[in-house]
Structure 1
Amino acid sequence: MMRIAPAVLVIAIAAGACAPSKLAYGKVRSALVDAGLSDANAACMAERMTDRLTLGQLQRLETLQSPKRDLSDYVLTVRRLGDAELLGVTTSAAALCATGFAPEKK
């Protein structure tokens, strides 16, 4: 029984380290790139958005696809979804990432 306890502890720690928002980051980043944003902006925004939006809201963003668009076009598209919280988080992430004020922007 003593050998099982350390294994369970390791699994619990690993599961806790993989928070849902961190697991969603890659998917959200890909969705933002598919929506036409640059890699740098998508990476920066995904970092901020995955911590602030629900999984349902993030899934709605996956439906937005375009060959190429700038941040203002993307925000206007998100506005059409009719979700005030989604729009607010997207707008603030876009503004912080575009200006370089976001700590995630590298």
Structure 2
Amino acid sequence: MKPVLIVVTAAALLAGCAASYENRIERSLTSAGVSRPVAGCMADQMVDRLSTAQLKRLARFAKGVDRREVEQMSLREIQKRFQAIGDPEIVEVVTRAGLGCALMGA
């Protein structure tokens, strides 16, 4: 296989993976109560700024979150639990994406 074809194929596969992650993130956010435009905006930013490993770590964290429990938590409690992921970059990217997209009314 020619090197150019390998690069093009790899790029296409990676783009497909990114789109898949973006769709899953958007669905998760909307099912958690985030509006579809904000969820789409956040998902786009998160996929662009986080590695695949970080996205997987975030997905594992999200599976353990009960929406009803979170609705009863204070902002301080949510922040503390979120920081327990142990990756400051994930916390920063998700926080910035959430605030930026919400403020833009995405």
Instruction: Name the TM-score class by shorter chain.
Output: 0.5 to 0.7
- Alpha-carbon separation, structure 1, partners of 2:20 and 2:76: 24
- Aligned pair partner of 1:13 in 8, 15, 23: 8
Q: What runs of 5+ residues in structure 2 fail to find an aligned partner?
A: none
Q: Quick one: distance in 2 between partners of 1:31 and 1:47?
A: 13
AA partner of residue 31 (structure 2): D
Q: How far did 1:100 drift? A: 1.7
1:34 lines up with 2:35 in the alignment: no
Structure 1 residue 36, shift from structure 2 partner: 1.5
Residues 36, 13 of structure 1: CA spacing in aligned structure 2 closer, same or farther, 3 A cutoff? same
Higher RCO, 1 vs 2 (CA within 8 Å, ≥6 residues apart): 2
Report the structure, 1 or 2, having the larger helix content. Answer: 2
Q: How many residues align?
A: 93
Instruction: After the TM superposition, list the runs of 4 or more consecutive aligned residues in structure 1 that deviate by more than 3 angstroms.
Output: 73-79
- Does residue 80 (structure 1) correspond to residue 81 (structure 2)? The answer is yes
Instruction: Could you tell me which runs of 5 or more consecutive residues in structure 1 were left unpaired when the two chains were aligned.
Output: none
1:22 corresponds to which of 14, 19, 32? 19
Q: Which is higher, the Rg of structure 1 or of structure 2?
A: 1
Q: TM-score, normalised by structure 1?
A: 0.63
